Amino acid sequence: MPRAKTGKSASRVRRKRTPSVIVASGKESFRDGEWDGALSSFDAAISRDPENAAAWANKAAVLEVLGKPDEALISARRAIALAPGLGAGHVVQALALARLGKTEEALESLESLLALQPRNALAWLNRGVLLARTGDAREALRCFDRATVCDPAYSLAWINQGAALLALSRYREAAASYTHALSLRPDSVEALVGHASALAAVGEAAGARGSLERALAVDPEHERATELAEALGGSRGPRKPRHA
């Protein structure tokens, strides 16, 4: 018969059930797109420790992704109440507010966070994204600039910086931003397509086609890449076989 775990073995089992470990497991599920598993983990952590701010913030993030902004907002606000300096709580609160059409409140949430954490790259990025949606490309660009300074390895910040520069018709600068993003994430289709768009705008068709070929090698069905490739007279890249 199997013997009961004692000593170090029992200690390890107990550690596996701590809220922090459960939250870490939930984050892994979140990264893998396993929303139900992630939500279950965060709920389990909260049931063991109702004042675990990280669990509330991560639960809010899952609910926001699942298109439940009202519920996400409740969880995010609980996280902020427990830990006012927890950046994730403020960011998810802003995302939930934006989904509810409350852009000004969303921006205020991010500004509150940036007052506490002026080097929070994620907050600068999301503030820029919200401003870009309102059509304020110049202020959005300022936010993306700040995000790249706060975290030079943050590829999404460079990608969004490139998009803002494209919107402002600053094509060569946009190409440079996308080039930097690709140095961090060589297979980013978003960066490759943006790079191609910027190069095409300044008449560098060969370089644009090269980026589009790389994009279509990663995602043969990417609509924008396909449109640009056809407009430039380039190859669409390999197509995925269709099954009946």
Q: Where are the domains of the chain?
A: 19-102
Closest to 62 in 3D by CA, of 98, 26, 99:
26
- pLDDT confidence of residue 17: 74
- pLDDT confidence of residue 16: 60
pLDDT by residue (tens digit) across 117-171? 999 999 999 999 999 999 999 999 999 999 999 999 999 999 999 999 999 999 9
Question: What is the CB neighbour count within 10 angstroms for residue 135?
Answer: 10
pLDDT by residue (tens digit) across 20-36? 999 999 999 999 999 99
Who has greater pLDDT, 3 or 103? 103
How does DSSP classify residue 188? -
Question: What is the CB neighbour count within 10 angstroms for residue 45?
Answer: 26
- pLDDT confidence of residue 206: 95
- pLDDT confidence of residue 106: 97
- pLDDT confidence of residue 233: 84
User: What's at 103, amino acid-wise?
Assistant: T
Q: Which long-range contacts (CB under 8 A, 24 or more apart) does 23-28 make?
A: 23/52, 23/54, 23/55, 23/58, 26/55, 26/58, 27/58
| Locus of tokens 């994430």 | 185
pLDDT exceeds cutoff 70 at 41: yes
Please report, rounded to a whole number, the percentage of residues in the chain having pLDDT higher than 90: 87
* Burial zone of 11 (CB within 10 Å; 0-12 exposed, 13-18 middle, 19+ buried): exposed
pTM of the model: 0.82
Per-residue pLDDT, averaged over 192-209, amounts to 97
- pLDDT confidence of residue 67: 95
4: pLDDT confidence band, cut at 50, 70 and 90?
A: very low
Q: Are 140 and 129 in contact (CB under 8 A)?
A: yes
Q: Are 61 and 88 in contact (CB under 8 A)?
A: yes
pLDDT exceeds cutoff 50 at 10: no
238: pLDDT confidence band, cut at 50, 70 and 90?
A: very low
Q: Are 236 and 216 in contact (CB under 8 A)?
A: yes
pLDDT exceeds cutoff 90 at 175: yes
pLDDT exceeds cutoff 80 at 91: yes
pLDDT exceeds cutoff 80 at 197: yes
- pLDDT confidence of residue 13: 44
Q: Are 161 and 141 in contact (CB under 8 A)?
A: yes
pLDDT exceeds cutoff 80 at 15: no
- Mean of per-residue pLDDT scores for the chain: 90
Domain 19-102 fold is 1.25.40
**Tokens representing 58?**
């991560």
Who has greater pLDDT, 224 or 240? 224
Q: DSSP letters along 119-135, please?
A: T-HHHHHHHHHHHHHTT
Could you give the C-alpha distances from 15 to 11, 12, 22, 43, in angstroms and in order? 6, 5, 10, 18
Per-residue pLDDT, averaged over 12-26, amounts to 77
